[in-house]
Every structure is written in C-alpha cells, then in structure tokens.
Amino acid sequence: MKRKYEQDDHTTSLNGGGEECEPTIKQAKANTSPNINPHDQNKSIISDIKFEHDTKPHLRYFLKLLEDFDDDHDNAKFSQGITNSVLGYFNKFLNGLPEIIGSNNEQVDDGVKTWHAEKIGAGGFGTVLKVIKRNSNGQNVKAIKVIPIISTMGPNEAVSGAKLDHPNVVKVYNSILIRQTCCIEMEFIEMGSLQDLIKKKIKLPSIAIFKMMFQCCEVLLFMKQRGMVHSDIKPANILVKKLDLNSNEVEVAIGDFGLTLLNDTVASQMRGGTTSYAPPEVLEVNEKGKRIFKANFKPTFNTDLFSLGKTFRALFNNHDSDQFTTDILEMIEQLISSDIQQRAIGFYNIGFNGIIYFNNKSLIWKNEKELSAFSSLEYLMKDLTTLPHKNRDFILQNNILQSAHKSLKQDRNFLVEIVVKDVRNLLTIDESVRTDKSFAIHVLERNETAFNYFDESLMRDREFINDIVGRNGLLLKYTTFLNDREIVLTAFKNNREALQYANESLRKDREFVMSAIQHDGIVFTYADESFRKDREFVLAAVQHKGLLLDSIDISFRKDREIVLKSVKQNGLALEYVDKSLTKDIEIVTEAVKQNRFAIKYADESLRKDKEIVLNAVAQNEHVLQIVDGSFVKKREIVLKAVKQNGLTLESADKELRKDREIVLESIQQNGLALKYADEMLRRDKEIVMRAIQQNRLAINFVSESLRKDREFASETVQRDGLLLECMHKSIKNEKEIVMKAVQQNGLALKYANEKMKKDREIVTTAVQQNGLALEYADRSLRKDSAIAIMAVSQNGLALEYTDKSLTKDRRVVMEAVQQNGLALGFAANSFKQDQEIVTKAIQQTPNARFFSLIKN
C-alpha cells in the first residue's frame, strides 16, 4: 500500500476528568502480538475509560505531593507518587477493585483482568506504562506516558507528535489528564529501542544500520519541512518496530517529542535535551566542570543531525563488519563533525544512497531540491553489493558526478570517462585536476568540446597547446594561437582541415602556405583564394594531392603539365581534366597505372583501345569489369586478367569460361574460380583436383555427378580426409573410401554415415589417427575400454568422449592423464582425490593441479 504523509494542522487539547480527546492523526498499523486484535490496535483505549465520581481524595493526595515538592529528591518522590496514582487508576479503579490511596499499585498481569498497566520505562521527563485493555476479541495495547504537571513537556509532546503522520514516527493518539496528571496515549512498540540493542550488544549488518539511519533522516527532513526540530535524538528515543537480521528488514520509529520546537518558538527558553548526544557548538562547561547547554542554545536541523550521528555511532560499535562498513561509518563521521557543512554532506550522502538503494519514492525526499531527482533513478539488483555513490557504472550512466564518493572523484580514469560524457562535469571537479596537463590530454583526445572548460592557465601554455593540437589538429580552433606558425603547422600535420582555423594573414603568407603544401597538397583548399590562380602554387599542390585538380582555376585543367602531375599522384584526377586531355594516351595511361578505375574517365575511344586496356588489366585485373563490354570476349585480355586474379573469370564471356586453358589459369591462381567455370569443366577431374589442391573449399563447386564418382572421391579423401563431408551420401557409406578418409584424418569419422560409425575397424583406425575422433563414434563403441584406451593414448582429452562408466576405469584414466594431465578434469571425482593419478597428471601437465580435489 502506498504510504501517505500529510500534515494535520489540528492539535490535541489537554482535557480533564478523563474525557476523550478527538484523534488528530491518521493511524498506522501497529505491531501486534498473536493475542492482540489488529483492528483494536488502530483504536484509542481512552474511549473505554470511565469517570471517577469522587475525585477529591486523589486531588488531596496530588496536592500533598505537590506541596512536598522541593528538591531533586522530592522531585523523584513526586514522579513516583503520581505514576503510582495512574497505575491505581488502571489496575484498580477501572477493574472495580478497592484502592488505598498512596499504596503500591504495581501488579503482575494475571491475563484475565480487563485492564492492566505496568511500568516499562522511565526518564527525565516522565514514566512510560504499558496499558492493556482486554475484550472478547482480544486485547488492545498502548503505551501511556505519565508526565509531571510541573513540566510543560506533556502537552508539547502530544501536539508535536500529532502533527507528524509518518510510519517512522511513534503514533500519538491522545493527551489526557488522569488524576490531575498529564498522560499521553501512544503507539505501543514492544521490541524496545536502539538503546536496548546497544546494551544487549546485538550485532547488526551495516546495511540494516544504514536503513534505520535513512528512515530517521527522512523523519528529521519531514520535520524540517514543517518548521520543526526534535532536539532530543538519542538511542532511547528511537524504537524498533521490525528487525529481521536474515533479510535486513528493519523499521524504526522516532518518539519522545517532548522537546520538539517549532522554529518560531523562543528557543532561548528551551533547556532540555541530552548533553551526551548534543553537538559541541551548543554546549559549555559550568563552574563545576559539568557540560551544560549554553544559555543562547537554539536547536536546529543540524543539531538533530549531530545527535543522530552520535546515536548510530554508538549502535555501530556492535555491527558485523562487511562491504558496507567503511562507507556507512564515513557518513556517520560526517554527521558528528564539528563542521556543520560536513553534516550537510553526510545527510546528502545518506539521502542520495538511501533513495536509490531502497528505491524510495517518498514525496518527502522529492520535496528536497538537491535530492528530488534521484527517486526516478533505477538501481539494479546486481548492483546491491555496492552503495550507489561508489558504483562507478551507475554514477557514469546517470551522469551524477556531484553525488559520487570522494574515491571516484579522485580516480583520474573515472573522471576522464565522465568528463568525456559531459564536459560540464569539469566545472565541479577539483582545480588540481582541471590544471593537470595529462588529464586534459586524455579528455581532449576524446572530446574536443571540453577545451574551454579547462583552467585558463592551460590555455595560455604554448607547449601544452602545441602538444594537444599535434594529437588533434582541430583543437586549433579553440586556441588563441591562430597566428603562430609552428602551432598551426603542427595542427595541420595532424589534421589538414585545421588550416581553415588559422589566422587570415597566415593563410595569405606565401612561404608558410608553400611549406604546408609540401607536407600535404590539401592545404591549397584552405589557403587564400589568390593562390588558386598561381600556377607555381598549383603545380606544387597537385604533386602532393592530385585530386586538387577539382579545386583549382578551370584554366589549369587544360594545362598538360599540371594534369600529368595530377594523374601521376592520383589517377582518379582524370575525372576533372579538360575533355580534350581525356584522349591523351600518355595521360590516360599514367592515370590507369596509378588507379585502375581511372579508365572509366578516359575518352570512349581510348576505352576501346586494346593497348590501353591491356595495360590497365596488367595493372589490375578488375579493370575488366569497367572497360568496354567487347573486351570480356577477347581471349588475350581475359587470359591476362585471370593470371592476375583467377576470380575475374566471373567477368569473362560465357564462351571463354569453357576455354580449358583460361579455366586452368584461373583455378591455378585461385581454386575458388572453379565456381565460374562452365559445368562441363567442373566435371573435369584434372581441373577439379588442381582447384582443390589450390583451395580445398573449391570442393563446394564440383559438379554433383563428380561427387558420386568413387575414383574421384577416393583420390580426394586421400589428400584431405575432411573433404568426405562434401561427397555424395552414397560415398559416405563406402567402407573403403571412409577408411581412406579416417586414415588421412581421424576426425573425418564425423562425416561418415551411422553404419560406418558403428564399424569397429573404422573407428579403431580413426582414434589411432586422432583420439578425439572418439566423439563421433557410435555410443556402443565409446563404452569399449579397448577403443577408449587407444583413443586416450593418442590424445588424453578424448576421455571427455568416453562413456561415463569409463571415467571411473582406473586403467583408462591413468592412460589419459599420462598422455595429457588436463584429462584429469574429465575423470570421476574419486580419481581427482587419488594420490597416484593426480601426481601423474600434474607431472605431465602442471596446471592439472586445478582439477585436484586432494586437500593440502
């Protein structure tokens, strides 16, 4: 059920004569014992009490106690007296029993009487009673806090508690007067307090302690949002509602709101609280050497945080150390720091990790600006061994560096990753990192936009800038060194496009541009426009970058010298020359020599020129795919092409694929060219055998009729037994051929038919050639110890494929480990504990020790 938190502006009034006060808060389900009626637990017991008609004797007794009140001793007597009076009200008056005023009213519960009350705790501000009201449906149990009338804490506690509707706050039902004594009816929590856990030295897992601490922080934040502080947080005031150490299911509730103040209260009037859990800034030492609260003490949210830290520091002394210990102790130490800022950091860390780790969706946290976004984050079950602020992947994935643990914020490799992801993270990291050259280099190599986020001192460092633009020339655009010849040239050498960011005066500098062109002609593209009409510059540029012919003045595309230099540097520059020069045999020839595909830019007349085509084919056989279609029918040209690359047979005319000489040349250069030969030649044994010799995969292109040929199959498997796989199924049933295959390679047994795999002679031959062939033998033969011994003697690892029964056969296992010690891994566990076998295995292969089950 979704939890509901709501503020109720009503307060509980202090009524006399036992009158019931109207409940002012929505009740939460209370802890119940087997004999407690859960329905009654949501009901106030005050509605069941009755009036005393003769109150004068009790009033006189009360006044006598008040009259005797004088010092600390009498104060204790007064408290004891009024508590005894309230006990008499429940144990005697409500049960219809006679009562002697002033007598001892404490009684042992007989489990029968309708009402029973007993003391369960006492402190400086009152005594707590456990009150039971029985009826036919079971019993209703509540806690009643008895507070001396001279204290203002009773009404205040009721009002404060009633304002807080939260599962981690002890529920306050009513405040009433019983026999002139202020009493507060509260939720009864029978498991005790954190103080009890501390006294009993109950050992708790760190994550359970953290969960309690997170729940308490949520309550303190809930109070803060309503302008309230508790001001008396201590172990005794934090009650345990649920505690299951096996599942880490814990739930606590904060109680005792007697000292709770609204922020607009005159705090200087406040003198309560527990000094041992108070922060140093609110304490002073009096003339007797005793720590007391300062006169101007004003409780705040931060003082509550300190008290909470001290509380859990005491509880932490009993915890079981685990993987969360260091992290949680660190947060506790932050809470108890004398530095208020550290307490805020500790609270933030508790909130951040708790919201995510416990998947808390409470509006209380969502209303806290700095923590509001985190409830939407998902934390996977596999991550639960680490708190979120230390989980590298989680912080990186969600880009929340500000919430990372300090260990991650000091991890340079992690910082590089998260800054590369979002350069704005540079604004939040330590200055020493932002000025670190090595760190900056690692980031900028992967994300250039981070440049302007680094410290200004780095941006002015010429040596650093020269180094970084040498790694990524495009970073030049972010620098102030755009007119620095050396730095610009360094950037350009790394990335030629960097020149576009150089200062205009530098791009007009003839000497600089010429030196840059000699390094890379592309500089011409970014140089001043005037250089594009300068023949000297153009000639120098195309020698380094032929394709620049596309960028120069159109008049130079007719300049034969410039064009010739261009195509010699890059044949594809032929695309940009004047049409008249695409007919120039020398230019086209040079272009085709440099790049075979340049022929497609030659004039049509030259693309039909036999000499030009032959020259192109000599350079690269693939030219056959782009020249005039008539050339794929010319035997001389095709023959020259297939000698270069047999696969160009694919482009040859259909008739030439029947040419025995051309096909032989093709398959001798690349056996896979058999694929493109005419069907007739794919039945030719000589051609097929040569193709297979050149590339065994050529078997895939053999004619189906040849795959059924016994003579061909016999000769083929003698050369490569594994080629049995590609033979017709009828061949795989021929014992003589299968025998030749496994003699050449025992693993060929895999491709024999099932009948052959049951043949003892064939299987024996196979495992003698390769013991691992046992894997493919019929199961009946894998049970045969004689065959198994042959197999493991050849390869000990064949033990894996023997029948399970043979992994328990001492002779078989001994043979296996003597051949390969790692075979021990496939032996029965009994042999992994056998001293002799394990020793033999390790002697053969030292790493076999990893399979040993012998205890040292």
Give the pLDDT confidence of 504-542 residue by residue, as tens digits: 888 777 777 777 777 666 666 767 777 777 888 788 778
In a domain, 673, yes or no: no
Question: How far are the Cα atoms of 72, 319, 705, 713, 775 from residue 752, in angstroms, in the given order?
Answer: 104, 67, 19, 13, 13
For 20, half-sphere exposure in the C-beta direction (CA atoms, 13 angstrom radius) is 12
Q: Is 815 in the same domain as 853?
A: yes
Domain-terminating residue out of 187, 217, 245: 187
pLDDT tens digit string along 623-660?
555 555 566 677 877 787 778 778 778 778 888 889 99
Instruction: Return d(Cα 697, Cα 799) in angstroms, integer.
Output: 32
Domain of 97, CATH number, reads 3.30.200.20
Q: Which domain holds residue 152?
A: 38-187
Backbone region of residue 562 per phi and psi (left: phi > 0; alpha: psi in -120 to 50; beta: other values): alpha
Question: Is residue 57 assigned to a domain?
Answer: yes
- Check pLDDT > 80 for residue 179: yes
Give the span between the Cα atoms of 575 and 33, in whole angstroms.
93
Closest CA relative to residue 168, chosen from 56, 85, 250, 251: 251
Per-position DSSP letters for 616-658, written without gaps between them: HHHH-GGGGGTS-GGGGG-HHHHHHHHHH-GGGGGGS-GGGGG
pLDDT digits (tens, 9 = 90+) for 205-242: 889 999 999 999 999 999 999 888 888 899 999 999 99
Q: Are residues 66 and 183 both part of a single domain?
A: yes
Instruction: State whether 203 and 80 are in the same domain.
Output: no
The span from the CA of 154 to the CA of 176, in Å, is: 9
Please check whether residue 414 lies inside any domain of the structure.
no
Helix residue ranges, H only, 242-336: 301-316, 325-335
Cβ(810)–Cβ(804) below 8 Å: no
Q: H-type helices in 422-459, by residue range?
A: 431-434, 437-444, 456-459
Last residue of a domain, one of 323, 341, 376: 376
- Inter-axis angle of helices 325-335 and 301-316, to 10 degrees? 140
Are 227 and 157 members of one domain? no
pLDDT of residue 653: 82
What's the token pair of residue 812? 């078989």
- The whole-angstrom separation of Cα 558 and Cα 554 is 8
Lowest mean pLDDT, pick from 41-50, 65-74, 729-738, 754-763: 65-74
Same domain, 177 and 214: no
Is 702 a domain residue?
A: no
Is 770 domain-assigned? no
**Are both 68 and 46 inside the same structural domain?**
yes
Distance separating the N- and C-terminal Cα atoms of the chain = 55
Number of domains in the chain: 3
361 in a structural domain: yes
Instruction: Give yes or no for residue 313 having a pLDDT over 90.
Output: yes
Give start and end residues of each alpha helix (H) in 25-133.
Answer: 38-41, 56-68, 72-88
- Assess whether 173 and 202 both reside in one domain: no
Specify whether 42 is located in the same domain as 183. yes
The whole-angstrom separation of Cα 90 and Cα 95 is 7
Last residue in a domain, options 332, 351, 376: 376
Residue 271 has pLDDT above 50, yes or no: no
pTM score of the predicted model: 0.57
What's the pLDDT tens digit per position in 250-267?
A: 999 998 775 554 444 433
CATH number, domain with residue 332: 1.10.510.10
What's the pLDDT score for residue 667? 87
Asked, for residue 100, whether it belongs to a domain, the answer is yes
Other C-beta atoms lying within 10 Å of the C-beta of residue 413: 9
- What separation in angstroms does the CA of 296 have from each of 144, 214, 269, 289, 291? 33, 30, 9, 19, 15
Same-domain pairing of 264 and 149:
no
Residues 266, 235 share a domain: yes
Is pLDDT of 15 > 60? Answer: no
- Is residue 506, in this structure, part of any structural domain at all? no
pLDDT, mean over the chain: 83
Q: What is the CA radius of gyration of the chain?
A: 47
Element (H, E) at 398: helix 392-398
Q: What is the pLDDT of residues 99-140, one digit of tens each?
A: 888 888 888 888 889 999 999 887 666 788 999 999 888 899
One domain for residues 169 and 264: no
- Could you tell me which of 648, 688, 630, 672 has the C-alpha nearest to residue 662? 648
Q: Decide: 281 and 215 in contact? Cβ < 8 Å.
A: no
Distance (Å, whole) CA 673 – CA 665: 10
Least Cα distance to 46 among 72, 70, 17 occurs for 17
Same domain, 216 and 181: no
Long-range (24+ apart) CB contacts under 8 A made by 66-71 are 66/149, 66/150, 69/150
